[in-house]
Each structure stands twice: as C-alpha cells, then as structure tokens.
C-alpha cells in the first residue's frame, strides 16, 4: 500500500511553467509505476502521462506531448510532472496515481489502485 500527496499546483499565465510533485509513503514506492491524471470542472478524469517503476519509460497523452515531462526519484519517493508552455486548457485538478506494475491500459484511471488528493492548476490567458 502507498499513500500519495501532490503539491506544486497554483496559478500560472499561459506560456508559463509549473512543476508538480507527488510524494509516496513507505519503502515500496519504487515497485509502483506512476501516472498523472487531470480533471477539469465538469469533465471526466483524463490521462496525462505515466512512468514505469524504474523511470526507464514514459508515456504521454497527445495533448501534452512535447510540453510535459514526467520523471521520478525513487530515493526520494517522488514523481514529478514538469509542465511547460502551459495553455488555459491545462486548467484542472491534477492527480498522481500508483499502479503495480504498469498496466497495458495505463491510460485508464481504473487501472490505478492508489490516488493522491489532487492539486489545482489554473492557467490564465
């Protein structure tokens, strides 16, 4: 079992950057693949990106590819989401989630067993 806590959200202007962090509890963090999802008001939760247990492979939604980067530091039990060239449509609550191992269907929220509480990201135009 792992508990996840996100941080780093806030208000940013279009074209700006933010870095989100997600810290996991316990000694087994490195056993989990991690995903980032987001949910805009009135919309379904959508996949943003995922990273394998070792960090060797990453996957991204087309809408963020080339702008967002996922990385992890297993020594710090932390996964990051670096968001660049942000757009107003990136406004949402961002969640990190843990899966062991990374599912073939990693883009489905239902594949992840553990979730953080979310952090709000707002991009102004």
pLDDT in tens, 55-93: 999 999 999 999 999 999 999 999 999 999 999 999 999
Whole-number pLDDT of residue 102: 86
29 vs 27: CA distance, rounded Å: 6
Q: How many C-beta atoms lie closer than 10 Å to residue 40's C-beta?
A: 14
Q: How many C-beta atoms lie closer than 10 Å to residue 35's C-beta?
A: 28
107 Cβ contact list (under 8 Å, min separation 6)? 47, 50, 59, 61
42 Cβ contact list (under 8 Å, min separation 6)? none
Q: Per-residue pLDDT tens for 100-115?
A: 888 889 999 999 999 9
Query: Across residues 24-42, what is the average pLDDT?
Result: 94
In percent, the amount of the chain with pLDDT more than 90 equals 93
Cβ atoms of 111 and 37 within 8 Å: the answer is no
In percent, the amount of the chain with pLDDT more than 70 equals 100
């Amino acid at each position: 079992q792992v508990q996840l806590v996100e941080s780093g959200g806030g208000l940013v202007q279009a074209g700006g950057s933010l870095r989100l962090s997600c810290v996991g509890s316990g000694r087994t963090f490195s056993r989990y693949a991690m995903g980032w999802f987001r949910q805009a008001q009135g919309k379904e939760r959508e996949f943003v990106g995922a990273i394998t247990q070792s960090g060797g492979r990453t996957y991204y939604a087309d809408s963020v590819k080339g702008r967002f980067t996922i990385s992890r530091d297993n020594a710090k039990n932390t996964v990051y989401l670096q968001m660049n060239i942000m757009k107003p449509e990136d406004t949402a609550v961002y969640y990190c989630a843990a899966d062991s191992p990374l599912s073939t269907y990693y883009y489905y929220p239902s594949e992840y067993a553990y979730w953080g509480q979310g952090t709000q990201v707002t991009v102004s135009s």
